[in-house]
Amino acid sequence: MENVSQDQAKNNQIRWRSAAEQKTYSSKLVEALRHVRRSSPPDNVSSRGRAVREKADKVLAIAAKGRMRWSRAILKKRLKLRLSNHKKAKDRSKLAAAGNSRRKNLKIEVPKKKRLRPLQRRVRVLGRLVPGCRKLSLPNLLEEVTDYIAALEMQVRAMATLTELLTGANAVAGNVAESSNRLEISRQLEHPPQS
Amino acid sequence: MNRTRPEMLHCLNATGNLAAATSREMSVLERQRAVLKWHQEQLKRRQQRHFDDLNVFSAPLLAQNINGLIDDDGSGLNEILTRPTGMETGRPDFGSKSGVILDLDHSAGHVNASSGYCLNFAISGNINFPPTVVAAATQVNTAVGAEAKVREPTTSERLSVTTGRQSSKKRKAEKSLPSEVDEEEDSIVKKIRGCADEEEPTNSDQHQNSNKNNWNNNSSKNKESNGDKSNREASSCTSKGNSKASAVQKPDYVHVRARRGQATDSHSLAERIRREKISERMKYLQELVPGCNKITGKSGMLDEIINYVQSLQRQVEYLSMKLAALNPSVDVNINDLFAKEVSPACLASYLPTMGVSPEMASQSYLEYNPVETMGQVCVSEGVNLVDASLRRSMSPPVSIPETLLHSSCFNQIHNSLPWELDLQSLFSMEFQQERPINCSLADLCWPY
């Protein structure tokens, strides 16, 4: 059983490092980015940035094909957010109608603090970092973390490439525009327009 | 039982040939019942008596008595009695007991030609033996009871097959035995019970063989193993030595070996499996996360892993902000960039500049200074190649959005070369270069 899981992990690793995977991810990401560009307001960069980040994560999760827990959790988050947004609007209206009576009845109990050993604490922190793995046992958590790290690395690579490409394109475009202008100008200079 | 006894005696008396008579004239079922009842009676009686270590003193006395009596019945009995001694080599006292065991009340009854049967008979007859023997006896007994024609000394193996049928009753009888039993014996009994439990589903002869061996080796085994009685899952019913205990053949269980000198408790075994899994995965992560070769210990490793994951996530954030900022300006570019082909000339020019150190790339990363380092935009189906090309120093621009391209640029594009090979090399090189970038960014993000 252990050997099987190890082989799976190694296969996953190879998958995330492959060029094909990165290619597909990049193309999907570009598509998603185009969506973002169209949908979100151009002036608010930070919100755009967040949207881009979320899109990137979503595309990554899709690339993972739902094999790992964190990918499923990311995809679930999207749905939950949308649903919760709808729900929040409804709830607010309900609360306003009902008044404060509900809140008075509710008792919030402060959870008792557990004395976690440092190791346990770190395990919890790691669980919080990886999406959807908060209450996972250590061996499963480590498996998820392995795959998640590989996927993140691929994501970073792809996005870096993309940004470089775009910035390079911009720069080159700028350069070329300049050079083309210069050429035009030089041509004009060489061949002065004949009046 | 009472009714069968006179029957049996009658038969025996009539024929004089014990073996033949019992096998022919009594049905198997009758004999079974007889044996059962007889045993039950015996056990009831013996519960009142004290369990001494009769190995020492009772055997010789009884042996003398019984042997004398037996001689009256015939030589056959003697033969049978002496045979069992050969079976139990590791337990000489056992052998002597078997000689002793014949109950005077039933000396004539239940005697079969098989030594195994007689062994049963003998063993179960005398309560003064430790329950181990009784257990063994009862097991063998029931087996024999079911088997009509057990003749050979090696029938103990066959007996085992039928043990399962009646072993449940025997086990109940065993349980009613007084609790004055030694720990050692108790554990042995449990082991036998455990083995018997497994026999029913498996019915394998091997277990019985191991049982026999167990009885022989039990005393030594108990001392060497950690004497864990509740060890059902990893049962010690192996015929191997004392160093290993293998797992039960249940489908959902993981097969584990308890190593020598380690606890064979089911809990500790499960814990050990879990620990091994964790350490295996930690080792794998150690290879994955850069800079973890020197760190030993789970907490340090976990710290490193946490830091690395955080840094990767921060990189993604940073890049996403960058992309968000870049987006509006490159509306048209992306389509065109992906559509273009790579020009072999570009590749040729790129290859010598492949050796551009990662510092250049990281520089461009950090300083966001595209002009110096990314003079070229080389487009292929994949973005990877683009990335590789971007690292080059200034070189003649190749592919640029159509709207901005000058005609002179197009000259280099449409040559035919086996650029797939080049792509491969580019990819591999690019991947090699990717790692250092990540590391440098990670270092950058550290203070956050």
Residue B290 pLDDT greater than 80, yes or no:
yes
- Each residue's pLDDT tens digit, B403-441: 443 444 344 444 444 444 444 544 444 444 444 444 444
- Each residue's pLDDT tens digit, B22-39: 445 556 777 777 777 887
Report which listed range, A181-185, B253-257, B289-293, is most confident. B289-293
Which helix H or strand E contains B369, and what residues bound it? none
The owner of tokens 């007084």 is B178
How far is the C-alpha of B63 from the C-alpha of B100, rounded, in Å? Answer: 4
**What pLDDT does B299 receive?**
85
**What pLDDT does B256 receive?**
67
Any CB–CB contact under 8 A between B330 and chain A?
A: yes
Report which listed range, A124-128, B115-119, B368-372, B438-442, is most confident. A124-128
**What pLDDT does B168 receive?**
44
Interface test with A, best of B275, B276, B383 (most A CBs within 10 A): B383
Q: What is the pLDDT along chain A (195 residues), one digit of tens a residue?
A: 555 666 666 666 677 777 777 777 777 777 777 777 777 666 666 777 777 777 777 777 777 776 777 778 777 777 777 777 777 777 776 666 655 555 555 556 666 666 668 888 888 888 888 887 777 777 888 888 888 888 888 888 888 888 888 777 777 766 776 777 777 777 777 666 555
How far is the C-alpha of B341 from the C-alpha of B425, rounded, in Å? Answer: 17
Q: Could you tell me the CA-to-CA distances from B130 to B55, B68, B108, B215, B398 in Å, in that order? A: 9, 25, 24, 12, 95
**What pLDDT does B333 receive?**
52
Any CB–CB contact under 8 A between B397 and chain A?
A: yes
CA dihedral sign of residues B90, B92, B94, B95: positive
User: Which residue of chain B has the CA closest to A142?
Assistant: B281
- Of residues B13 and A98, more confidence is placed in A98
- Give the closest of B320, B333, B390 to A53, CB-based: B320
The owner of tokens 């973002």 is A36
| Interchain pair B282, A1: CB under 8 A | no
Query: Is ipTM strictly over 0.95?
Result: no
- Each residue's pLDDT tens digit, B307-359: 999 999 998 888 888 877 776 655 555 555 554 433 444 444 444 444 444 44
**What pLDDT does A10 receive?**
66
| 3-class state of residue B338 by DSSP | helix
